[in-house]
Amino acid sequence: MKILVTGATGGVGRLVVEQLAGAGAHVRAVTRPPGRPGLPAEVEVVEGDPSRPEPLAPHLDGVEAVFLHSRTIGAAADRLLALAAQRGARRVAALSALNVDDPLHLQPSRWRGDRNKESEEAAVASGLTWTSLRASAFASNAGQAWGAQIRAGDVVRYVYAAFQESPLDERDLAEVASRALLTDDLADRRLELTGPQSLSHAEMVDVIAEVIGRPLRFEEVRPEDLSRHLIGIGMPEPFVRALMDRYTHYAGQERHPVTGDLEKVLGRPPRTFAAWVADHAAAFRA
């Protein structure tokens, strides 16, 4: 079975490629820069930009399923899926997000160009058998947000110690994506995929401390101070503003929702945040 994977060189895409190749599928991986950046030898690499899908049309011949990655697709999700359907594709798994129905100004990722809402909507409207993967916050966000501070010292300065997420291990997300691409088991469903626990920022830092075996202290800072720092190191201001708005808006919620969708699909509980940290401890070690 031939499967086209967009976003194949990224955090989620690489894991999806690994799952599919491991299951014996023929993976056609789309990447913008020339070359084959670290993809397994058995994967067919196609140079292209999913947000300009027309030149990719010949590479959709023989493709049975498409992994639609919401960071790569820009305004072209519907066009890519129409081309895939014309050439005989049957299935699409769309990367989306648990917060996709929130007001757009509380979805910071939109300011990075991510199109989770459009990715899901295009999949639903495509006429293909679709699955929307509404992912909660990735466990790897912790490495991106706090890795540098923890490698450099024992204090994590960040906003809202009590803010809750249900961190999702991207390996679990990729397993579900692979199931949705290879079978009809998850046809026409919006899956709400979370980790097994709701954890506050401070609790996540406690888990990291425990796993890496070093005391860490969470020091809450004001949103305006973190914003200044993040903009100072080059993050786009609208993204930072939306991130702080989201934190501020949801800071008071008691527990972040944990759903049972992932366990129902995979027949086992989701991986814990502690397991993710243990397997990525290098992100926090000096």
Q: How far is the CB of 56 from ligand NAP (least distance, A)?
A: 12
* Structural tokens at position 152: 């450099």
Distance, in Å, from the CA atom of 230 to the CA atom of 268, rounded to the nearest integer, reads: 38
Q: How far is the CB of 177 from ligand NAP (least distance, A)?
A: 11
Nearer to ligand NAP, 46 or 211 (CB): 46
> Binder to ligand NAP among 1, 10, 82, 280 (CB under 6 A)?
10
Q: Is 16 in the site for ligand NAP (CB under 6 A)?
A: no
Distance, in Å, from the CA atom of 17 to the CA atom of 5, rounded to the nearest integer, reads: 7
Q: How far is the CB of 215 from ligand NAP (least distance, A)?
A: 27
Distance, in Å, from the CA atom of 124 to the CA atom of 134, rounded to the nearest integer, reads: 13
- 138 SS3 class: strand
The interface region with ligand NAP, picked from 10-18, 150-158, 223-231, 255-263 by CB under 6 A, is: 10-18
Nearer to ligand NAP, 113 or 260 (CB): 113
- Among positions 119-138, residues that touch ligand NAP (CB under 6 A) are 135, 137-138
For residues 145 and 158, the answer to whether their CB atoms sit within 8 Å is: yes
Between strands 44-47 and 2-5, the pairing is: unpaired
Taking residue 220's Cβ as centre, other Cβ atoms within 10 Å add up to 15
Q: Is the dihedral of CA 218, 277, 27, 178 positive or negative?
A: negative
Q: Is 114 in the site for ligand NAP (CB under 6 A)?
A: yes
> Binder to ligand NAP among 4, 17, 25, 31 (CB under 6 A)?
31
- Among positions 208-237, residues that touch ligand NAP (CB under 6 A) are none
- 60 SS3 class: helix
Binding residues for ligand NAP (CB under 6 A)? 7, 9-13, 31-33, 69-72, 95, 97, 109, 113-114, 116, 135, 137-138, 141
